[in-house]
Structure formats: C-alpha cells, structure tokens
A and B are shown apart, each in its own frame.
Chain A
C-alpha cells in the first residue's frame, strides 16, 4: 500500500494516542487512512457475484472493528492485522449471506446487474423502467430479466435489516413519522389491522407502512430511505411472507 517508514511510524504513534485517549478524531483519521486498503480487499472478492458497494460496506465495517481492536504494543503492523480482519469478515459475509436456494450463477449475476440498471434507468427516465427497457439495458431477453427477478426471490441478505450507510441505527417507525405526523390515523389503522406487523423489525415495519398505508411506490420508498429499489422489493416480499406465516401460526 506504499507506506514508507516515516508514515508507518506516524500511524503507529496515532494508534498509541488512540489507545490512550480514545479520541474519536484520531479514530476517524486512522479509518480514513486505511479506507483504500478496505476497498482494495473488497474488490478482490468482487468476482463472486455480490455488488462491490455491498462488499466495500462490509470491509469498511471490518476496518472500523480492526482500528478499535488493534493493539499497537504487540509489534504487528496494522495493515497486516487489518487485512486479516477484513478478509475474515468478507469471507464470513459470503458464507452467511448467500443464496437461500441455489439459482444458476448467470441468473444470480444478472439479478445483481439488474439492481444497478433499475437504479440508473429510474434516475434517467424519472420513472420505473419497463421490463423491455431493462432487457435492452442489460442486453438480455425479457424472459431472462423475469427469470432473474424470480431467482432474486431466493436471494437473501442477512444484513437486510441493517441500516444503510449514514442511516440512524436506532431509526424506528415512530421516529420516522414524527410526533406531528398528520396521518397518524394510518399508523392506528395499521396497528388495528395487524398486531403481527409490530413483531417485524422496525425497518420492515417502516417500509410496509410507507407502501401499504401511505401509498408510496417502491421507487419512492427507495428514494426516501436511500436504498435500492431492489432492496425495497426484497424487504417487502420477505415481510409479507413473514406476515403470512405468522397469520397461519396465530
């Protein structure tokens, strides 16, 4: 990563200072100094069919963990320690967050490509693209697009409920709606219709509320929450499947 001795010593001093003070500014500086390493390692795993952005997120979180846990007194270079930690997290990501049902590899890749295309075309067109437009954009047939969307049903991310970067981890339906929301009746209606919804994670509750009680489209929800439309689709499909299972058990 092209770090000379002087820089290495400077970094080491910063780790010592962080260990002593816990100063968040130093922590941030150290994280930023190694983001390139996190991205480099994420890209080394990018041929496995997961979006690079997701992998960079995983490795950046692992970098944070590495910075917090690194002990400068042990005589190991941080880059060595961080590489080990980040690669471990990336491998775990692939082990834990794969496909629930085996879909043909080509369909998995197409599904992931479609996620990017949907985002790009929606922005360009100012509306949700048609299946024909998606097929043209990804240079496959319309049937293949549909098959990939169907295959995507089998795709599960264990991090589905995790907040996207920059989102407040403690975000709840109530905090999103705010106390002064004039449409609390929708929330009341939701609570009356199904207490089962309350058992879902807050993020899924929020998306269900926006789609079915506030009438937002998937595209609008994606824009509002800063996540991909495909992610909204997956969360909705999963939430409804969970509600159906819960309804049968109840």
Chain B
C-alpha cells in the first residue's frame, strides 16, 4: 500500500486488549484529522469488534492487531490466535447494525481452525470550514 503507514501490535486476549486497541486506533485517527465524533465512533467500533473475538471476559490466546492508514482512511485488523478451535465469533444482527453505523466497512469471520478475525475500515469526512 504505497504512502501508507502500518502499526502492528500483539497482546494477550485479555480484557485489557480493547483499551490498548482503542488508544492505538484513536492516536492514529488523530493523525488523520478525525473529528471528535469520528474518534468516539471508532472507539465504540473497536470495543464491539474486540468483543466479537474475545467476549467481555477475554479468551486464551493472543490477538494480533494491524492498523494501517493512508491519507484519510484507517483500517484495523485483529486476529485471535487461540491454538485450538474456540467458539465462533460473536457477531449478532444487532452487532452488525451497530458497526454499520460506526464504520464504513467491517467483517468478522472464522479464519481457519484456530483463528478469528475482524477487519474494519473508517474514512474521515472532509473537514468543512
């Protein structure tokens, strides 16, 4: 991806993960000039997506996060590697509806036997005035 930056983080799939992901995502969004409204939406989306992988209590395993950004778009991918076939990702109809309002695109899927993955993309609106 020419002209883009990438940040990669790996962390245990514990309840601390959403905070780490929120902080990183909002820091990068800030570099792209996201508004407060957009940053708050992003933070909510990250919480919802982390939940889809590790629930509210965390799971055994490691989550690899990859943040990539270009001029106006932030993409975040998270993969839970559990080393065993765990439960399916949590991605209810309500969760989908919530994420549709918060980000431009998203996906949550099982990725092989022992991996769950989420992906999202959020583009900042042009700044008026």
A residues lining the B interface (CB < 8 Å): 118, 125-132, 134, 142-143, 145-147, 149-150, 153, 189, 192-194, 196-197, 211-213, 215, 217-219, 229, 233, 236-237, 240-241, 243-245, 247-248
Contact = CB atoms under 8 A, between A and B. Distances in A.
A39 to B, nearest CB: 30
Given A128-B35, A217-B37, A248-B56, A150 B48 contact: no
Interface stretch (B60-68, B73-81, B90-98, B115-123): B90-98
A130 to B, nearest CB: 5
Given A126-B129, A131-B36, A240-B48, A146 B56 contact: no
Contact-residue size bin, chain B (C-beta under 8 Å from the other chain):
20 to 34
Nearest to B38: A128
Given A130-B36, A150-B22, A229-B36, A237 B47 contact: yes
A134 B40 CA distance: 14
**Which interface residue of A118, A128, A131 has the most chain B CB atoms within 10 A?**
A131
Nearest to B90: A247
Given A193-B93, A241-B47, A245-B56, A218 B23 contact: no
Interface of B: 19, 22-23, 26-27, 29-30, 33-41, 43-44, 47-48, 51, 55-57, 90, 92-94, 97-98, 101, 127-129
A237 B47 CA distance: 9
9 contacts: A129-B35, A131-B39, A143-B27, A150-B22, A153-B19, A212-B101, A236-B44, A237-B47, A244-B51
A134 B23 CA distance: 17
Given A194-B92, A241-B47, A247-B92, A149 B37 contact: no
